[in-house]
């Protein structure tokens, strides 16, 4: 998908989030534009997904020549004893996965 500016990308996330969460979860998203082409979008609280999972994220992005570049990002997902976190910073990529043993 091609974007002309940061807000166009941020706007595209709202229907996606609404499809996988309750519509009321949209208020947990915040956008922080730096300029027309760059900015951050994040969840201010974990999003309650329809499958019972929780998703938190932050993306620092730039739109360049219509393409989206994720400069830094972090995604965290929890559900039924499973935990996954994926981070990308200027220091590189890190992934954490954990499954709790049954009680």
- 96 and 90 Cβ atoms separated by less than 8 Å: no
Q: What is the pLDDT along the chain (103 residues), one digit of tens a residue?
A: 899 999 999 999 988 888 888 777 888 999 999 999 999 999 999 999 888 999 999 999 999 999 999 999 999 999 988 888 989 887 787 877 777 655 5
Side-chain half-sphere CA neighbours of 35 within 13 A: 4
Domain limits, the chain: 6-99
Contacts of 40 (CB under 8 A, 6+ apart): 31, 32, 34, 58, 59, 60, 61
């Amino acid at each position: 998908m091609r974007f002309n500016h940061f807000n166009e990308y941020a706007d595209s996330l709202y229907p996606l989030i609404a499809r996988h969460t309750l519509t009321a979860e949209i208020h947990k998203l915040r956008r922080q534009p730096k300029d027309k082409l760059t900015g951050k979008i994040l969840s201010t609280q974990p999003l309650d997904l329809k499958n019972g999972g929780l998703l938190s994220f932050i993306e620092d992005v730039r739109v360049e020549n219509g393409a989206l570049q994720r400069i830094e990002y972090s995604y965290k997902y929890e559900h039924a004893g499973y935990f996954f976190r994926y981070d990308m910073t200027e220091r590189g990529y890190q992934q954490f996965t954990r499954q709790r043993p049954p009680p």
